Amino acid sequence: MPELPEAETIVRGIRAAVSGRRIEGVEVLHRDVLAVTPARLRKGLAGQRIEGAGRRAKNVLLDMDDGSVVWINLGMTGGVMSLPRPPHTSAARVRYGPIATHPTVVFLLGGGTDLVFNDSRRFGTIEHLDASASRARSRTFGPEPLTDEFTPAGLWRGLRASRAPVRSWLLDQRKLAGVGNIYANEALFLAGIHPARRARTVRRHEAEALHSSLRSVLTAAVQAGGTTIRDYRNAQGGEGAYVRELRVYGQEGSHCIKCSSIVQRLVFGNRSAFLCPTCQPRRAVARRTRRPGLT
DNA sequence: AGTGTATCCTGCAGGC
DNA sequence: TGCCTGCAGGATACAC
């Protein structure tokens, strides 16, 4: 579910509520999302002050005053919300009403405010890493696409080194941080590149177009507060408006906005890809068969 | 190296 | 109404 724009929207939505607050307690309702025992998490966080909130790839980060960092991976259905503490509740049965339907881990910030990790499927994870381990984790991700470290030339070099389908390359967090299935499909449509094309067949001008479309799609999605298909909610429980701007994702059978062809869905890498067969031809395959001996 | 498959888990939509 | 199947914004481990 949540990709870079959704995680970014969540971070912006909780930043004011968490910055400078102390963690008074941690309630664990489902320990299977934790990489450590609840006792150890509590011990590591008790009394710590939250310096601020940030994001790396699709992860929401809470920076602690001792330099350690809480890494929240949102998985498919995870969300972080800043909510008023419900009255008369016990740890075993915390109810936040219809906004947080599946509270999983709750950080008690005092002053009547709870920071709730809500995750119905519980594919999300929470880890507490010391400063060194956090930096090491951060290094496992590729460049952030909305920063200067992401360049057309760098994208082209990366694509040229891979035989994987270009969409698979975009989804690989080690190559590029924060892009998931929705925005990969949208950016490939805008750049006119078939999602199943081998990354190495993408030409320089196409890589430049893809760099530009990734930037514009992700920027617009952040501005729209993300995409709500079904589960995603921001830190206040609201929906993301970018769903209204999707051009191909989930649009199987409708007309392409550029050429009126019928948008297709195909499955590879265990996930759906959406594309316009006219605007996103599999050119590389045709070229290869016509130029034998060039392998 | 790449890829197909399975796994974690829950909810919802659609067909019958 | 109920039962069944398929599908879902992610990430990883495994066998080819």
Q: How many domains does chain A have?
A: 2
> Is residue A144 in a domain?
no
Q: Of the candidates A43, A90, A48, A83, which has an alpha carbon nearest to the alpha carbon of residue A65?
A: A48
Q: Give the whole-angstrom CA distance, residue A69 versus residue A211.
A: 30
C12 C1': nearest CA residue:
A123
- Are A15 and A91 contained in the same domain? yes
> Is residue A288 in a domain?
no
Position A268 confidence tier, pLDDT thresholds 50, 70, 90: very high
Write down which residue in A77, A105, A138 finishes a domain: A138
User: Model pTM?
Assistant: 0.94
- Are A113 and A209 contained in the same domain? no
Q: What is the CATH number of the domain that holds A21?
A: 3.20.190.10
> Is residue A58 in a domain?
yes
Give chain A as a 3 state SS string: CCCHHHHHHHHHHHHHHHCCCECCEEEECCHHHECCCHHHHHHHHCCCEEEEEEEECCEEEEEECCCCEEEEECCCCEEEEEEECCCCCECCECCCCCCCCCEEEEEEEECCEEEEEEECCCCCEEEEECHHHHHHHHHCCCCCCCCCCCCHHHHHHHHHCCCCEHHHHHHCCCCCCCCCHHHHHHHHHHHCCCCCCEHHHCCHHHHHHHHHHHHHHHHHHHHCCCECCCCCCCCCCCCCEHHHHCCCCCCCCCECCCCCCECEEEEECCEEEEECCCCCCCHHHHHHHHCCCCC
A1: amino acid identity, one letter:
M
**pLDDT, tens digit (0-9, with 9 covering 90-100), for A145-155:** 999 999 999 99
pLDDT of residue A287: 41
- Are A103 and A200 contained in the same domain? no
pLDDT of residue A295: 33
Q: Give the whole-angstrom CA distance, residue A256 versus residue A101.
A: 36
**pLDDT, tens digit (0-9, with 9 covering 90-100), for A106-145:** 999 988 899 999 999 999 999 999 999 999 999 999 999 9
pLDDT, average across residues A14-35: 96
Write down which residue in A81, A115, A138 finishes a domain: A138
- Are A156 and A126 contained in the same domain? no
- Are A22 and A50 contained in the same domain? yes
> Is residue A287 in a domain?
no
Residues paired with A59 in a beta bridge? A56, A73
Q: Are the beta carbons of A4 and A58 closer than 8 angstroms?
A: yes
The size of chain A, in residues, is 295
Using the CA of A183, which nucleotide's C1' is the nearest one? C9
Write down which residue in A93, A110, A138 finishes a domain: A138
Q: What is the CATH number of the domain that holds A204?
A: 1.10.8.50
Distance B8 C1' – A292 CA (angstroms): 45
- Are A122 and A161 contained in the same domain? no
Q: Are the beta carbons of A171 and A187 closer than 8 angstroms?
A: no
- Are A134 and A186 contained in the same domain? no
Distance B5 C1' – A287 CA (angstroms): 31
Distance B6 C1' – A112 CA (angstroms): 43
- Are A209 and A251 contained in the same domain? yes
> Is residue A173 in a domain?
yes
Measured CA to CA in angstroms, residue A189 lies from A19, A34, A40, A119, A291 at distances of: 39, 37, 46, 31, 26
pLDDT of residue A98: 84
pLDDT of residue A135: 97
Comparison of pLDDT for A91 and A194, the residue scoring more: A194
- Are A271 and A184 contained in the same domain? yes
Point out the residues of A that are catalytic. 2-3, 58, 271
**pLDDT, tens digit (0-9, with 9 covering 90-100), for A196-244:** 999 999 999 999 999 999 999 999 999 999 999 999 999 999 999 999 9
- Are A170 and A263 contained in the same domain? yes
Given a cut of 70, is residue A88 above it in pLDDT?
no
Residues with CB under 7 A from strand B: A 32, 102, 120-123, 162-165, 168, 198, 230, 268-270
**Residue numbers of the domain that contains A103:** 4-138
